[in-house]
Amino acid sequence: MRSLLAILTATTILVPAVAGAATVYPLDRATILTASPFDVKVEFDGVVAGSDVTVTINGKPAAEVLGKEATFIEKEDGVEASAVRLEGVTIAEPGTYTVVAKAGDDEKTVTWEVYGTSAEPKAKNVIFLIADGLSVAHRTAARIMSKGMTEGKANGRLNMDDLDRMAFIGTSSTESVATDSANTMSAYMTGHKSAVNALGVYADRTADPFDDPKVETLVEALRRQTSKSVGIVTTSELQDATPAALFAHTRRRAEKAAINTQIFDLKPEVILGGGSAYFLPQSVAGSKRKDDTDHVAGFRDAGYTLATTKGELEAAAGSNTGKVLGLFHTGNMDTTLDREFLKKGTVEKFPEQPGLVDMTKAAIDQLSKNAEGFVLIVEAANVDKMSHPLDWDRAVVDTIEFDKAIGVAREFAEKNPDTLIVVTGDHTHGVSIIGTVDDEKPGDQMREKVGTYAEAGFPNYVDSNGDGYPDSVDVSRRLFLAANNGPDHYETFRPKLDGPFVPAIQDENKKYIANEAYKDVPGAVFVEGNIPREGDTGVHAVDDVVLQATGPGSENFKGYMEQSDVYRVLADALALGTAQKK
C-alpha cells in the first residue's frame, strides 16, 4: 500500500508538470525588426502528441502567417518533452502578434511587437563605442585622474562629457537580474534580451550550444539591407563575448573557435584586436583551434591586408582595399597602463601592440572609404577585464584611453555630421570612489590613511606632458576606489605596479582563496569575500548603465530603456526596415 501511494504521488507530481505552461521563443514582449529572420521554438513541458499541437498567430495557423511549416519533435535530445520549431521565419508587417501554442492542457500565449523603421536613413554612419563594464565610478575617476579637480570643479571635461543625449539602460537577463557581457551586448546588437553566456540566440533547454533559436544580429541586418562597411575594434580577443555579439549565434560564449568561423563568414571589412590563437590552424604552436582551419590565410585570400603590429597597422592605413585584418595578440591585448607606462603584463612578449586610439583611427580611415557609409563598433575591453580582479588603476587608465577613442569618433562626426555616435557600457561593476588614500596621513595601518568626507581632499596626480594620462598612478594621495563585492583577497591600498592584480586563486576544491602573493605588501589587510567561494573575482553589478549619444537618431535615446530597445534606435537611424543595397 505504501509503495502504491508513492507511485500515485509521483504520478500526481508529473501531471501538473505536463499541464504547466509551455515556453515560446521569442519570449513574451519580444520586439522584432520587420523582415528580420528569426527562429521560433515552442517547448512543451512534457511529451505531447503531434496531433494535439496547435500554434496560432493572431488566430491563424503559424505556418500560414510565417510562410513555413513547423517541425514537431516528439522528444528533444536529452529531454523528456516535445517541441515545435520554425526556422528562419520573417514577419513583414509591423504590428502586434499574439502567439498561442497549445497541446492538450499545456497552453502558452505570448505577444510580439514587430516594428518597422524610418523609410529613409537618418544616419549614414554609426560609431558605437562600448567600454565593457563601464560604471559611473570609472567615468568619474577617469575625469579626475585625467583632468584634475580644483575646489570641487573638474579642471577639464572628458570627450564623453559633452554628448547630447542620454538614457539609463536596464541590463538584466531573461533568466536573472544579473548579467554578463554575452547577453548584454547581444541585446544591443540584436534587439532581443537573452540568458547569461548566450549570443544571438534565445537560450533553450537542450544541451547543444548551437541549436538554440536564433535572432538576427546587426551585422547580418546590415548585410541583408545595406551595402555599408562594418568594422570591429577591440582590445580583447575578437571572439570574446562583446565583439562576438555582432556576429555569433551560440548559447555558449566559450565556443570561441566556432565564433571565429562565424565572424569569418560575415567578413567585416575591418577587424582589429587580439585573439589570433583562434585564427591559426591547430598545427601552429599558439593556436587554440582544434581543427586545421586557417582564418589568417582565409582573410588574406579574401583580399584583406594583414597587420600584426602597430607599425603594420599604420602601413595598412595606406592600403586602398578597405579591408584590414589586424591581429595584435594571441589572447587579450594588454592594458594602456601596461602597454604605455609599466611594460608589465604580456607587453614583453607583444611589445608592438597598438592602442584603442590607433585602432579606432585606422578603422575609421578604412571604413569611411565606402560611399554607402559604415557601422563601427569599438570596445574598450580592459575596463571590465581589470575591474573583475579589482585592479582599479588599470580599469580607469583604460577608461581614459576609451575617452580618447571617443574623441577620434567625435572629430570624424564634426566633419561628417550624418554620423550617429553612441557611447555606453554593457553592464556595470560594483565599484565606487569613496575618497583618497594619502600616504602622508599618520598611522601604521593603511586603513588609517584612507581619507573620507573632508579628509579626502583632492588627489595629487600630475600630467606634466598633457597627454591626458597621469604621469604616474602611484602618487602619494590617490583616488580610493572600493569594490562592494569580491572573493577573499588582500587589499594593498596601492596600484599594482608589477602586473595586473590577481586577488584570489583556486584551491583543490575549486574554491577561491586569497592570493598570498600580496600578503606581505606593507600595510596589506585581509578582506573576507562576500560572494560564494566559487567566484574568482569581483562580479558585475545589476545597476543601470548610462548610455550617451549624439548625432542623427540620438534623439530617441531618453529616460529608462531596456538594453534591447537600443537596437531599435540603431535600426531606425539606419532604416534597416528599408532595402538600400547598391
Partner 1 sequence: MIYTAPDRRQALAMIGAAALCLSARPARSAPSPISFNELYGKVSVLGLTFSDKVKALEGKPVAMRGFMAPPLKAEANFFVLTEIPMALCPFCSSDADWPDDIIVVYLDHAQTFEQANATIEVSGKLEVGSWTDPDTGFVSLLRIVNADFRRV
Residues that bind partner 1 (CB under 8 A): 180-182, 196-197, 240-241, 253-254, 256-257, 276-278, 280, 282-288, 290, 296, 308-309, 327-331, 349-350, 388-389, 502-510, 512-513, 515-517, 534-537
Half-sphere exposure in the Cβ direction for 426 (13 Å, CA): 34
> 60 vs 349, which CB is nearer to partner 1?
349
> 164 vs 292, which CB is nearer to partner 1?
292
- Full DSSP string of 454-497: GGG-------TT-SSS-S-S--SEEEEEEES--SSEEE-SS--T
**Strands 419-425, 545-550: pairing kind:** antiparallel
> 24 vs 313, which CB is nearer to partner 1?
313
- Min dist CB 354 to partner 1, Å, is 12
Q: What angle do CA 99, 102, 105 make, to 5 degrees?
A: 140
Among 558, 399, 375, CA closest to 481: 399
> 134 vs 221, which CB is nearer to partner 1?
134
Burial of 441 (0-12, 13-18, 19+ CB in 10 A): middle
> 181 vs 399, which CB is nearer to partner 1?
181
Burial of 513 (0-12, 13-18, 19+ CB in 10 A): middle
The answer to whether the beta carbons of residues 295 and 348 sit under 8 Å apart is no
- Min dist CB 289 to partner 1, Å, is 9
Burial of 54 (0-12, 13-18, 19+ CB in 10 A): middle
Cell numbers 586602398: residue: 320
> 23 vs 262, which CB is nearer to partner 1?
262
**CB under 8 Å to 23, separation ≥6 — which residues?**
42, 43, 108, 205
Task: Return the DSSP state at 338.
Answer: I
- Min dist CB 210 to partner 1, Å, is 15
> 478 vs 540, which CB is nearer to partner 1?
540
> 513 vs 527, which CB is nearer to partner 1?
513
- Min dist CB 446 to partner 1, Å, is 22
> 316 vs 437, which CB is nearer to partner 1?
316
Element containing residue 169 per DSSP (H, E):
strand 165-170
SS3 assignment, position 34 = coil
Torsion of CA 472, 473, 479, 482, to 10 degrees: 180
- Min dist CB 135 to partner 1, Å, is 18
- Min dist CB 518 to partner 1, Å, is 11
- Min dist CB 64 to partner 1, Å, is 41
Task: Return the DSSP state at 24.
Answer: E
> 338 vs 572, which CB is nearer to partner 1?
338
Among 262, 255, 365, 383, CA closest to 307: 365
> 73 vs 257, which CB is nearer to partner 1?
257
Phi, psi (rounded to 5 degrees) for 57: -125, 120
Long-range contacts of 516-521 (CB under 8 A, 24+ apart): 516/490, 518/489, 518/490, 518/492, 519/490, 521/490, 521/492, 521/494
Phi, psi (rounded to 5 degrees) for 176: -160, 150
> 139 vs 252, which CB is nearer to partner 1?
252
- Min dist CB 233 to partner 1, Å, is 16
- Min dist CB 279 to partner 1, Å, is 8
The answer to whether the beta carbons of residues 216 and 253 sit under 8 Å apart is no
> 39 vs 255, which CB is nearer to partner 1?
255
- Min dist CB 184 to partner 1, Å, is 12
The answer to whether the beta carbons of residues 186 and 174 sit under 8 Å apart is no
The answer to whether the beta carbons of residues 429 and 135 sit under 8 Å apart is yes
- Min dist CB 21 to partner 1, Å, is 29
The answer to whether the beta carbons of residues 140 and 455 sit under 8 Å apart is no
- Min dist CB 192 to partner 1, Å, is 20
- Min dist CB 300 to partner 1, Å, is 11
